[in-house]
């Protein structure tokens, strides 16, 4: 679990980037289908496109930072619990080993029972680590959904009445290789997100 925080942050960045691309591409495709059905189309010279830097939003959006802090704290608590259990297990294992070496167990059966209890305890710790990892994964998914909902809803409001036909999500993992700074609306979106979040608190 040492690197789980880094992994979760990377997954968050990648996940939101992909969600934005899929969401807005889907919206764009629906718009094109509707236009075709109405025998009308948007002239490519009239098409207005903008993009938002997802990485910057995730790093500077107060809501995203707070969610990440909550998740990081849960991870820290889980890690502390696991380390505590692991130390207790190591202590119990050492005591067992000492008893075996000193011949304290009266019978072979008692020694085997004590060894079996140690093995069960080890399995419990492994299961706890597995459960913690799954729990953090579910928390991450929930956080991603909350962030996507918050950001996409704000962008819809920001773009009403419609100014841009397409707003893309740009990140290190996106397919956008180049975007003019004139199309970058990250700062205004980030400012609006944080202002709205402050008012909601």
What ranges do the domains of the chain cover?
Answer: 4-200
The model's pLDDT over 100-137, given as tens digits with 9 standing for 90+, comes to 888 887 788 888 888 999 999 999 999 999 999 999 99
**Per-residue pLDDT at 26 exceeds 90:** no
Give, to the nearest 10 degrees, the angle between helix 186-200 and helix 62-102. 80
pLDDT at position 43: 59
Q: Which has the minimum average pLDDT: 25-29, 93-97, 161-165? A: 25-29
Which residues have a Cβ under 8 Å from the Cβ of 3 and sit 6 or more positions away? none
State the CB neighbour count (10 A cutoff) for residue 186: 18
pLDDT at position 45: 64
**Per-residue pLDDT at 64 exceeds 60:** yes
pLDDT at position 185: 96
Percent residues over pLDDT 90 in the chain: 60
Q: Which has the minimum average pLDDT: 26-35, 39-48, 64-73, 112-121? A: 26-35
pLDDT at position 34: 44
The model's pLDDT over 184-195, given as tens digits with 9 standing for 90+, comes to 999 999 999 999
Question: What is the DSSP track for 89-155?
Answer: HHHHHHHHHHHHHHT--SSHHHHHHHHHHHHHHHHHHHHHHHHHHHHHHHHHHHHHHHHHHHHHHHH
Element (H, E) at 51: strand 49-53
* Residue showing tokens 């930072």: 65
Q: How confident is the model at residue 2 (pLDDT cuts 50, 70, 90)?
A: very low
Q: How confident is the model at residue 44 (pLDDT cuts 50, 70, 90)?
A: low
**Helix/strand/coil for 162:** coil
**Per-residue pLDDT at 85 exceeds 60:** yes
User: Radius of gyration (Cα) for the chain, nearest Å?
Assistant: 26
CA separation for the pair 191, 102 (Å, rounded):
69
Structure-block tokens of residue 82: 């696991």
Distance of CA 149 to the CA centre of its chain: 14
DSSP 3: T
């Amino acid at each position: 679990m040492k690197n789980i925080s880094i992994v979760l942050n990377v997954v968050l960045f990648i996940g939101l980037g992909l969600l934005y691309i899929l969401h807005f591409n889907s919206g764009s495709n629906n718009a094109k289908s509707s236009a075709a059905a109405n025998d009308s189309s948007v002239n490519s010279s009239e098409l207005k496109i903008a993009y938002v830097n997802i990485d910057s939003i995730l790093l500077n959006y107060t809501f995203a930072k707070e969610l990440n802090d909550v998740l990081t704290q849960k991870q820290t608590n889980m890690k502390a619990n696991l380390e505590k259990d692991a130390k207790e297990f190591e202590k119990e294992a050492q005591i067992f080993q000492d008893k075996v070496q000193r011949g304290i167990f009266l019978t072979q059966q008692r020694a085997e029972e004590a060894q079996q209890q140690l093995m069960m305890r080890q399995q419990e710790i492994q299961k706890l680590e597995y459960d913690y990892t799954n729990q953090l994964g579910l928390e991450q998914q929930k956080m991603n959904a909350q962030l996507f909902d918050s950001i996409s809803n704000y962008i819809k409001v920001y773009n009403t009445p419609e100014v841009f036909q397409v707003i893309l999500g740009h990140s290190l993992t996106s397919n956008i290789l180049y975007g003019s700074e004139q199309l970058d609306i990250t700062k205004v979106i980030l400012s609006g997100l944080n202002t709205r979040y402050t008012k909601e608190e």
